[in-house]
Amino acid sequence: MLLTGESGVGKEVFARYIHDQSERGKGGSGGPFVAINCAAIPDNLLEATLFGYEKGAFTGAQTAQAGKFEQANGGTLFLDEVADLDPELQLRLSSVIERRALIRCGGHEPVAIDARIVAATAQDLEALATAGRFREELYYQLKVVPLAVPPLRERSDDIPELLRYHADWFANRDKLPYRHFPVAVQNRLRHYAWPGNLRELRNLVQRLLVLGSGADVGLDEVELALGQSATAAAAPASAAQAPAIDFGLPLREAREQFERAYLLHQLDAAGGSVGKLAKAVGMERTHLYRKLKDLDIDPRAPVREGT
């Protein structure tokens, strides 16, 4: 299956729903749902992550390790941002789908694969295939059942329920005070364009619970929050809009504070794609992953539910 849609529309949520309702999910055999963001893992590690490896396949491989494909046997493998796969991995993925078997890195014996493959992308995969930037045979293998996930602005009737769900979710997870979204606020948000889709709605609800006060969310604070989002999306931050820096900190700590705010902003603008983030900030992926780890930024955390 191939899920397409704008960044943040909830493609992984939809993939999990398909899995849960199917014979492979909770409604049937209870098979695993295994998700991997193809853009969030360095190219030199992605092959072993997907296909596994045998003992001694490379330096440091003391034991054999099953990859994501094998872990998904009997269930569903969700490949997010599949358009970011490099050409060699595209070819190998195409072979695995065709043969329903794989060979681990450093191995020789084929391993049978029995998993539903759900791929997702925010890019125009057909255009990439036509331009020769994505293998045409893999494109057709993935789109046996193509499904387009509509943007949030096209399903405005879902807004009230989504607001309630996320307000309850953040209240329980983060121990924040639950706040009610009155009908006037719901109507305002139903007519908002939501350029960031479900991810933006989640962030908005979290911000209103963290910064707001009172049992009910007010229209004025919603307008303020939406205005800040629109300004950030429309243009680069000015000096007045830049993240606050504590000038009382030592230089190293102040620099880390700015770098963390900068990378979080760019990661959000990249829709959670580390590949796009690397291009935007001009860093090689390996160095970028090291920097994210040093700054305690998990590129997967903000994207899982809103991918």
State the pLDDT at residue 228.
64
State the pLDDT at residue 84.
92
Q: What residue spans of 109-181 are helical by DSSP H?
A: 125-130, 136-142, 159-174
Query: What CATH number does residue 255 fall under?
Result: 1.10.10.60
Of the three residues 234, 261, 278, the one that is the final residue of a domain is: 234
Is residue 28 domain-shared with residue 91, that is, in the same domain? yes
Is residue 54 domain-shared with residue 162, that is, in the same domain? no
pLDDT at 195 over 80: yes
State the pLDDT at residue 304.
39
pLDDT digits (tens, 9 = 90+) for 62-75: 888 899 999 999 99
Per-chain mean pLDDT for the chain = 86
Is residue 46 domain-shared with residue 87, that is, in the same domain? yes
Range of the domain at 216: 154-234
Those residues with Cβ within 8 angstroms of residue 153's Cβ, 6 or more apart along the chain or in another chain: 192, 193, 194
- The C-alpha atoms of residue 140 and residue 145 are separated, in whole angstroms, by 10
Stretch 109-118: mean pLDDT = 94
Indicate the pLDDT class of residue 234, thresholds 50, 70 and 90.
Answer: very low
Is residue 106 domain-shared with residue 22, that is, in the same domain? yes
Query: What CATH number does residue 201 fall under?
Result: 1.10.8.60
Is residue 213 domain-shared with residue 299, that is, in the same domain? no
Report which of residues 151 and 289 the model is more confident about.
151
Is residue 41 domain-shared with residue 109, that is, in the same domain? yes
How many distinct structural domains can be found in the chain?
A: 3
Question: Which residue(s) pair with 102 in the sheet?
Answer: 111
pLDDT digits (tens, 9 = 90+) for 239-293: 344 455 566 666 667 777 788 888 888 888 887 788 888 878 878 787 788 888 8
Percent of residues, the chain, with pLDDT higher than 90? 60
State the pLDDT at residue 250.
66
Stretch 198-222: mean pLDDT = 92
Is residue 6 domain-shared with residue 79, that is, in the same domain? yes
pLDDT at 31 over 80: yes
Is residue 139 domain-shared with residue 92, that is, in the same domain? yes
- The C-alpha atoms of residue 39 and residue 273 are separated, in whole angstroms, by 6
Is residue 101 domain-shared with residue 217, that is, in the same domain? no
Is residue 24 domain-shared with residue 7, that is, in the same domain? yes
Of the three residues 119, 149, 179, the one that is the final residue of a domain is: 149
Stretch 67-96: mean pLDDT = 94
Of the three residues 98, 127, 149, the one that is the final residue of a domain is: 149
- The C-alpha atoms of residue 169 and residue 176 are separated, in whole angstroms, by 10
* Global pTM exceeds 0.75: no
pLDDT at 53 over 60: yes
Range from 65-79, 102-116, 284-298 carrying the lowest mean pLDDT: 284-298
